[in-house]
Each structure stands twice: as C-alpha cells, then as structure tokens.
Amino acid sequence: MVTAAQPLAYPVSVRHLGPNWYATVMGTAVVATAGTALPPHLPGLRSALAGVWVLAFVLLLTLLGARAAHWVHHRDQARAHLLDPATAPFYGCLAMALLAVGGGALTVGRDVIGVRAAVALDAVLFSAGTALGLAAAVAVPYLMAVRHRVEPGQATPVWLLPLVAPMVSAAVGPLLVPHLPPGQPRETLLLVCFALFGLSLLATLVMLPLVFGRLITGGPLPLALTPTLFLVLGPLGQSTTAVGAFADTAPGVVPAPYSQGFGVLAVLYGVPVMGFALLWFCLATVHVLRARRHGMRFAMTWWSFTFPVGTCVTGAEALGRHTGLVAYEGPAVVLYAVLVVAWGTAAVGTVRGLLRGGLLAGPGPAPLAPRPATARTR
C-alpha cells in the first residue's frame, strides 16, 4: 500500500505535466544545431554538439512517454489544457520539438547514428512535426475564437507558438531535399516548405501587432511571463534561417530564374528582419532586467531564452553565407554564447525545481505561462 510519505506513482506525478515542457527539447536541440555553422571550428566542438543532440533526443523520448501517460491517466487534465487559453498554445511546442530533433539528426546527429538512420529519423519526425504543426496552427486559433473567449488585453507572445511551428518545418525541410529522387520530388518538397514559410509568416504578421499593442497600451507583462517576450524572436530568426535554406537548396532543384530568386530573397528579406530582431532583442532584454529587479524568479518561462535566440544564431549564420560579410559572424558567435548561458541557466533551474518538486506541483498545469490577470474597469 502506498502511504502519504511514499513517492507518488508515475501516473500521478505527471498529472500537471503540460505541453510547455517540450520547450526543454527545443532549447536543447537548438544548442546542437546552431553550433554546427559557427565560424570558429574548435577542436572537439562537433563531438560536444553531437552529445547535446543525443540529450535532446533522449529528452524527447522521455517527454513523449510522460505525456502519453498524462493523456492515459489524466485525460481530464489534458482536456483542461486544451480549453485553457494560457496552456493550449503550447501544443505548438510538441511539433517544434519533433522538428528540432529531426533537423538536428541531419546536421549533427548523423555523426552518432549514421547518415542513413539520420535521414530516416528526420523523415519521420519532419512528417509528424509538420502534420502536428499545421493542426496546432488551425486548432488553437479556432479554440481561442470559439471556446477560450480571450480579450485583447490578454495577448502575450505565447499566442505565437502554434503559428511558428510551420516556419520550423520550412527551415528544416530543405535538409531532406537532397535525399529525395531528382526532379519533381525535390522541387515539390522545396515549394511545400516555401508554402509553409508563407503560411507561418502571414499568420505571425496578423498576430504580432496584438502582442506589441498589448505591451504598449497594457503595460509590462507579469513578472513570470516577461521572458516570453523572447518568443517573438522565434519567427524572425526562423524565417531568416528558412529563406537561407531555400537559397542553399534551390540550385539544381528549381529552374534557374527561381533558384536565383531564392538567393535574392535570402538577403533582401533576411537583412531587415534580422535588424528588427536586434531591436526586439534589446527591448525584451530591458524588460527582463526590469522584471529581475522587481523580483522575477525562475520559472519554466526561462526556456524562452533558448530556442528563439538559437534561431537568431542560425539566421545570422545564413546571412553570413549569402552576403559574404564577416559582420554577421560576430553577432552569431555572441548570440550563441548567450544561448549556451541561457540553456545552462534554464537547465539548472529545471533540474533544481524537479528535485524540489515545485515544477510539477498542482493545482493546475505546470505553468510556462500563468494565466494573465485581468482587471475590471468601471
């Protein structure tokens, strides 16, 4: 018989395990993938990055099993997550976790499992992640409109998560193009990725003004939510990475005028978008410093410092390749250093929270983004 003093059984311990936990996989995987294209090629760096990718893969398998147990043993809580406007957007993280690990398999994981296994793994994870990402991009906004009854004053960067997932597909999909038969299969996949790029970009452009308007007119976000301002960097850095990947892959896949157009797009789109990303990085940083001075403590929101910053690293690397400017190498290295420090801080805080039992304690789902408070006005 289990007494009150004994540890909780596994199904009980995952009752408050929300989809936000997939952010740990995303943040770990991007440390591996973003480091592969850095200008300084340090001895032993690639082996270390391969080890980080293995860790991300193990985390993904662990969380998939834990979340499956959550749905089996705590279906009421799982449904409550879907109906909670603060939690439902994190279902986009599941898709992005699959895609991040899959893309990492071809960039650095192949050193561990071999090229053939890496291609097979990426094909499975890309297919599943893209399908889930498209489902989240439709289902979550639908639930927000029909069931959640959210107000403009509740807008947070978390709302972007399900809309960014197709952009991650667009960025990692071109890695599979050379492994398809020449001709229409390659061109089809590349143009599908381009369509996913447009889908996510336009949806983000619709949602982002709500987030920025709420920040300007509604004041700073609650302390625990402040790190989520870094989530805005995700679509910016990932879209720049995506157009760079299109330009890398297009020659020989699509006809010459269009392949050259992708190269032009990589620069004409990427340069101004990364400029805005730098502006937002500074804005988000000063908000976080303010929140820290006001007593912001560790929460799962701190994982927002990882994956979005990593996409800016890969975006800067893409611009460095296509412009030939060494001016992009410095920011890429600096941002990667920020990413590594942020990942280490978030990982230590998460492990400490798990050991103390606070991160998975109820009531309610383990909050990466607590429900924002609203105030009545006369």
Domains of the chain: 10-356 (1.50.10.150)
Spatial distance between the Cα atoms of 49 and 32, rounded to a whole number of angstroms = 5
Q: Please, are residues 240 and 315 in contact by the beta-carbon 8 Å criterion?
A: yes
Q: What is the pLDDT of residue 154?
A: 84
Which residues, at least 6 apart from 104, have a Cβ–Cβ distance to it below 8 Å?
29, 32, 33, 53, 56, 57
Task: Supply 133's token pair.
Answer: 């990402």
Cα separation of 31 and 52, whole Å? Answer: 7
Phi, psi of 177 (to 5 degrees): -55, -50
Stretches in the chain below the pLDDT threshold 50: 1-12, 363-378
Give the integer Cα–Cα distance in Å for 315 and 199: 19
How far apart CA 190 and CA 171 sit, in angstroms, is 10
In single-letter form, the type of residue at position 230 comes to: F
> What pLDDT is attached to residue 16?
79
Helix runs in the chain, H state only: 10-13, 22-35, 45-73, 75-82, 91-104, 110-113, 115-143, 161-172, 184-218, 233-249, 256-293, 307-323, 329-356
Tell me what pLDDT residue 273 has.
Answer: 97
Count of other CB atoms within 10 angstroms of residue 334: 12
pLDDT for 369? 45
Q: What is the pLDDT of residue 378?
A: 37
Backbone angles phi and psi of 251, in degrees to 5: -55, 125
Q: Residue 32 burial by CB count (10 A; 0-12/13-18/19+): exposed, middle or buried?
A: buried
